[in-house]
Amino acid sequence: MFLIIMGVLIIALGILSIKKPTWGWHINEGWKVKGESEPSDAYIDSMKFSGTITVFVGSFFIIGGILSLL
């Protein structure tokens, strides 16, 4: 059951990263830049890619959790 819950949370973070790739930029990277700035296109693309990978990893957690219940 724990794996299923973790899988759902991981998938939720992955979907958030795909839909809003700039949501954590100011906390993670924005403080390093002086003045007003926005994340680069490369940063946005890498966040979308990592979100996709995160969704796949979360899916494996859910599958593993379902298989452990059987």
33-57 pLDDT, tens digit per residue, is: 887 788 889 999 999 999 999 999 9
Domain count across the chain: 1
Task: Report CA-CA distances (Å) from 1 to 13, 16, 38, 63, 70.
Answer: 19, 23, 40, 11, 11
How much is the pLDDT for 45? Answer: 95
Task: Report CA-CA distances (Å) from 68 to 1, 3, 26, 57, 62.
Answer: 8, 9, 39, 17, 10
Is residue 15 very low, low, confident or very high in pLDDT (cuts 50, 70, 90)? very high
Please indicate, yes or no, if residue 6 is contained in any of the structural domains: yes
How much is the pLDDT for 32? Answer: 83
Please indicate, yes or no, if residue 30 is contained in any of the structural domains: no
Angle at which helices 41-69 and 2-19 pack, to 10 degrees?
160
pTM for the model? 0.84
Domain ranges, residue 49:
2-25+37-69
